[in-house]
Every structure is written in structure tokens, then in C-alpha cells.
Chains A and B, each alone.
Chain A
Amino acid sequence: MFFTYLLRELRRRRRQAALVSLGLAVGVGLVVTVGAASSAASSAQDQVLHSLYGVGTDLTVTKAPTAGSGGGFHFGGAAGSAPRSFSGSHIGSSPGLALLSNTDVTKVAALSGVRSAVGGLSLISITFSGQFTPGSGPPSSTTGPPSFSANTVSIVGVDINNPAVGPLSGTTLLSGHYFASSDQDAQVALLDASYAKQQGLKAGSTVTLGGSSYRVLGVVSPPSGGTGSDVYIPLERAQALGSAANQVNTIYVEAQSSSGVSAVSREVSGLLPSATVTTAATLASQVSSSLGATSGLAGSLGTWLAVIVLIVAFALAAMLSLSSVSARVREFGTLKALGWRTRRVVGQILGEGLAEGVVGATLGVGLGFLGAYLVGRIGGTVKTVVGSSTFPRAGGALAAAAGRFRPGAALGGGGHTVTVHLNGTVGLATLGLAVGLAVAGGLLAGGIGGWRVARLQPAEALRQVG
């Protein structure tokens, strides 16, 4: 009887029921869509961060160089001399990053709350050739035909015993194999896919770094949307190449739990006061452009829109429920006259509200998935710019190199651009929240109608209709 009565009643006032369900569905759909957009922005942000950090890294420790340090290149000769041809190469620590000792890595690893810490050494290898006139300042191509060229290769030394943290953690092996533990001091390398393609190299080839040949073990792709270093080599070999024995310029730290990242950050700052500690949060705060805009839109406008629609839907459902109850006063009075208990009558109305809520939730989830799909379709690709000071890997080195040598657009500007695709995924939590809201809306509407009925005296109900 309960379901028969419920379904027939909903069928009788199907327009009203459809309106209530549709209102709830729109609200639910918006909640799901906003959740998906937010998730897409968050996921995109994660991609950006992973492309910079590696998947397992919670924070990085770097140190800014002191003024005047780092040396540089000097083109000597007496002023007014005749133009001279030159060529050469140089490998050095990434100019934007000062050196830290291996001992610092060990100390950081020993901090409470730290699961693991590994050192990395970012190097920049520059090969150049051209002509200059001594005393005329840095060579330039602006005063005549190009007379100077520079070829830059970013190299990073990685701790091959702990690949889960650090530069290699977010990469994907495309061919060959990763380092073996026995490769610690071997002249072996992994190449970035773009660099390998550009240079025509593959697993088994050799690549020359600092005048020495390195056997290519494999080719890797950077984290989705990110840009990796051109060449990865064992840390010890990088230290030898960069004349930085027992030194690194980035410490990659994995916290024991995500909630402990802030505490670890404070501990590291206390341990190494002159170092810069960058967490995902601080890095994310510097992520700019359309990703930030998307995230902000999803987080504020979308949420408010969903809240407003839900409030309107709830109010509409409640009003229609009250209207329905008012139109059925005689019916409920009759049921009470037949001996139906108030809770049974209220249960019947709640059941109708619940059914409307469930239909609304089902439709809303469908709308939400459609919205999530559209987020991916319309949102498309987002370019994100990360400032060079926050980019401790190859990007920082490249940016610094670009600032010093100004070789042109090939090296990019002062920041690092990461391209990510927005994928609106609907999480179970969002789904649960949305369905819960719709059901709550239906129950609220039914509850308000039920409250009206519970207060209804049977005599009063029967009198109202004469």
C-alpha cells in the first residue's frame, strides 16, 4: 500500500514532482560539476607540482647564491684589439642555486617527520662559439650578423638508490631501463625524450658530457605536462662533472605524512636558516595564469552558484510540498479518520519527498557527469607559468642561464611554462555529497509537508471541506 499510494500520488501530480526533482537535479548537477572543475584544477596543479618536484616529493630545500658568487664567464683581451674567434664549453652548478653539502642532506633526512631525503645536483652545460672584440662587452648579434651561439644542456645528478623521491620520480620510462644500484659511479645516463629526439639519441647510444662519453641507459618522458632535465646521471658523476664533490644544490624531502609537511618545513628552516624551503603549498601559491583563474572560478563562483541553486531548489521543493499538502487536507483528514497514525501519514509524505529527492539525485548525477565532461572539453588545455625562483630543477638553471647569456627565445623567459589538460573527474565523495544533498532536499520538503500534516487535527481537516 505504501509504495502503491506513493507512486500513484507522484504520478497524479507528476508536473509538480518533476519540477521539484528537476530543481534538485540542477543543484546536484552543479555541485558535481563544480566538484569536477575543482578536482580538475587541483589535479592540474598536482601535475604542475609533480612536474617540478617529482611525485613523491613533499618539499625541496635550495639555497640562493650570494652576491658575486658563482663565477661566470670572462672574455679577456686588451681593449681595441682585433676581433677574435673563440669556442669552448663549461659545466657548472645551475647559476640560480648555491651548493649545499651532503651532510646537510643527512641532517635533513634525520629530522623527525621526514620519511626520506635525497640530494640532487642541477648542472648546466654550455657549449659556445663565436667572435668578440676584447673590451667591447659581451658579444651580441645585434650589431651585425650573428657572431655568437650557445648550446645549453641541463643535467641533473640523481640519487639512484632512492628514485622514488626526486627528479626521476615523476618520469615515465619510454625505452631502455632505469639506473641499477651498481651504476652509482658509472658513466651512464637517462635522456629526456625531447632531448633524445632532438639529438637523435636512443638507449644504447652515447652522449658526451664534459668531454666524457656516457652510455644512454634509457629514455624517459617528464611528468605529464611538465618539462624535465635533458640528461639524468648518477649524483656522484654529476658532482665530479660540476667540480662539486660531496655537494648538491637541491634536497628533495618526503614527509611521513601530508599533514606533517608544514612541521617538517619549519624544522628544515631551523636546521638550515639560510636555505629556501619550498613546499607544494608555497609553490602552488606562485602558480599563475589560467590555472589559478580556473581554480579560483571553480572554488568561488561555482560553489556559490551551486549553493544558491540548491537553496532555491530546496525552497521550491518545500513550497510545492506545502502546496500539495494544503490541497490534500481532506485526504489526510480522511486517513486520520480511518485510524491512520500521524507518523504513518507523515511517513507517506516523507516517502514522496524522498522519491523526488532520489529522482533528482539520479538526474543530477547524470547532469554532473555531463558537466564534468564539458569541463574537460571546454576547459581544454591550461598553460601555467611558474616563477624561476621557485623552480629548483632544470627550469631554474635554464632561466638563470637565459638571464645571464640572453641567447634568445629558445631558452624561454624568466619562468617555466607547464601545459596541462583539465580532466574533470567526479570523485566518490562529491557524488556522495551531491546525492546526500538531493535526498536531504527531498526529505526537507517532505518533512515540511509532514510537519504541516502532523499539526492538522482530523476534525479541522474534515471541516475545511464542509
Chain B
Amino acid sequence: MYELRQVTKLYRKGRKEVAALARVDLEVADGEFLSIQGPTGSGKTTLMLLLGALDRPSSGSILLDGKDLSQLRSGQLTDTRARTLGFVFQNYNLMPTLTAAENVQAALVPLGVPPNEARRRARAALDDVGLGERAGFYPLELSGGEQQRVAIARALVKEPRVLLADEPTGNLDEGTRDEVVALLEGLRSSRGLTLIVATHDSQVARRAPRTAVMEKGRLRIRNNQSNGGQAE
């Protein structure tokens, strides 16, 4: 699915250039659940943005199903985001003026899905995350866990092949965190998704069979199967 070769991402900080990612190599198989772990500022979010076709590397290549994202035009990247990739953010990033159902429908706008079909699919996606009854609620009327589930429904309604979740449990309490992670795992299993979760939370990271551990822009792979593969 993904193949990253010698990916470097540089940022300017004043007069200095800082490497957020330094010659990173990574392969992610189709349908795999990979976690990316590291402290704040380690380059997790930069890597997620590159995997999500939201940014381009300074050097190196990122192949998604054999296509180099760094070489695609802006419109092609947008198409890739619209059809292939789903995003879940730490802050949910829901539109405050739209209801839960309308937020989910927003993901179908780029695909040109007719309104009735969009409404039906949005309702089904909300049912899948257990929020069918709250379809007409605005984000501020929902709890944090519910908002994140709406965000997951929004990411999945277009039936992407990859789900990228950046600190999806960062704003949730422990109980809700486990519910959300379980929901993501269940959806991955049932839909055959490739799931990549960036987190600083070791417990969440260890739920994945493999963890890409980030430190100062560099990456090493840790195999979680050797110690049971599941979080304690």
C-alpha cells in the first residue's frame, strides 16, 4: 500500500532549516494496522500529513499503490484525499454550524453524491458508529467521544482504503479512549481498511501489531507481536 523511501521534510525556523523527518523509510501493507508513536515534536504529525497527501516531502518519495504522491499535481492529490484517504483529527474538526449528519455528508461533496443518496449514506455511517439517533445534533450538543465518532463516520462514509487518525484519543478520557480505539479496530477488521494511528499514548500504540517509533525526525519499527501484540 505505502512505500516511503528516504523521505525528508524540512521546515524553516527563522534562518535555520529543521528536519521534521530525516530520510525515513517505511512500508505499510494493505489492510495493516500501524501505529506511529513519539513525543510531541517528534515528527508524527508531519509524517501523517505526508501520508495523507496533505503535504509534499522535501526529498524522497511516497508511493501509494505504486503512485508517487510527491509527483502528483495538486488536483490529483485532492482526488486522492477525496476517494482513497479518510482522516480523523485530535480536535475532531467538525463544522460547528452543521449537524452530525451534515458533517458526515460534507465528505461526500467532492464525490458528487446526490443529496438523497448522501443523506442515506451519512445516516448509515452514523449508525455504524452508534450515533444514528444523534444525527440531527450539532457538535456542541455532543460529548467529546461522540464528536470523535462523528468524525470517524465522516472519514468512513466515502469508503476509503486508508484511515489516518492523528491523536484520535488525545482529548478523550480513558474509558472513551478505549471505546474509540475498539471502534477503529472493529471497522478496520470489517472493512479491510489500512489503519494508521499517530499517538503519544503507549497503550493505544501497542494495540497495533507494529509501531513506527518517531524520535527527532527519525523512525524505527517496533514489533508489538513479540510481547503479545495487544496493550496491557
Contact = CB atoms under 8 A, between A and B. Distances in A.
Interface in B42-71: 45, 49, 52, 54-55
Nearest to B50: A459
Contacts of A330: 91, 93
Interface string B75-98: 100110111000101110101111
Contacts of A465: 91
B102 interface: yes
Contacts of A459: 49, 54-55
B102 A1 contact: yes
Contacts of B105: 1
B81 A339 contact: yes
Contacts of A9: 97
B136 to A, nearest CB: 13
Interface stretch (B107-115, B123-131, B191-199): B107-115
Nearest to A331: B95
A5 B81 contact: no
Interface string A320-338: 0000000000110111111
A463 B55 CA distance: 11
B210 interface: no
* Chain A binding surface, main DSSP class: helix
A305 interface: no
A359 B27 CA distance: 55
B97 A337 contact: no
Contacts of A335: 106
Interface in A85-117: none
A149 B213 CA distance: 120
Nearest to A6: B97
A466 B91 CA distance: 9
A462 interface: yes
A339 B45 contact: no
Given A341-B75, A457-B55, A4 B110 contact: no
B216 to A, nearest CB: 18
A337 B98 contact: no
B154 interface: yes
Contact of B98 (A5, A336, A344): A5
A344 B52 contact: no
B45 A463 contact: yes
Given A5-B98, A11-B97, A462-B49, A339 B91 contact: no
Interface in B146-187: 154, 158
A345 to B, nearest CB: 10
A88 to B, nearest CB: 93
A339 B83 contact: yes
A334 B155 CA distance: 11
Contacts of A466: 90-91
A338 B95 contact: no
A293 B7 CA distance: 76
Contact of B89 (A4, A334, A339, A457): A334
Contacts of B74: 342
A388 to B, nearest CB: 71
A338 B49 contact: no
A334 B98 contact: no
Given A4-B102, A5-B98, A462-B54, A340 B110 contact: yes
Contacts of A338: 81-82, 87, 106-107, 109-110, 154
Nearest to B40: A466
Nearest to B55: A459
Contacts of B54: 336-337, 458-459, 462
A84 interface: no
Contacts of A342: 74, 78
Contact of A341 (B87, B95, B110): B110
B97 A339 contact: no
A12 interface: yes
B89 A8 contact: no
Interface in A433-466: 457-459, 462-463, 465-466
Nearest to B82: A339
Given A5-B95, A457-B55, A462-B49, A337 B81 contact: yes
A1 B89 contact: no
B72 to A, nearest CB: 13
By CB atoms of chain A within 10 A, which of B45, B54, B81, B118 has the most? B54
A8 B97 contact: yes
Nearest to A7: B97
A12 B115 contact: no
Interface string A1-37: 1001100110110000000000000000000000000
A342 B82 CA distance: 13
A339 B115 CA distance: 17
Nearest to B92: A334
B97 A5 contact: yes
A331 B103 CA distance: 11
A339 B76 CA distance: 10
Given A459-B49, A462-B54, A336 B78 contact: yes
Interface string A338-382: 111110100000000000000000000000000000000000000
Given A341-B78, A466-B90, 16 more contacts: A1-B102, A5-B95, A11-B97, A330-B93, A334-B93, A335-B106, A337-B52, A338-B81, A338-B82, A338-B106, A338-B110, A339-B79, A340-B82, A341-B110, A342-B78, A462-B89
Instruction: Please give me the 4 A-B residue pairs with the lowest Cβ-Cβ distance, nearest first.
Output: A339-B82, A8-B97, A459-B55, A339-B110
21 contacts: A1-B106, A1-B118, A5-B98, A8-B98, A9-B97, A331-B95, A334-B89, A338-B107, A338-B154, A339-B79, A339-B107, A340-B78, A340-B106, A341-B75, A341-B78, A342-B74, A342-B78, A344-B110, A459-B55, A462-B54, A462-B89
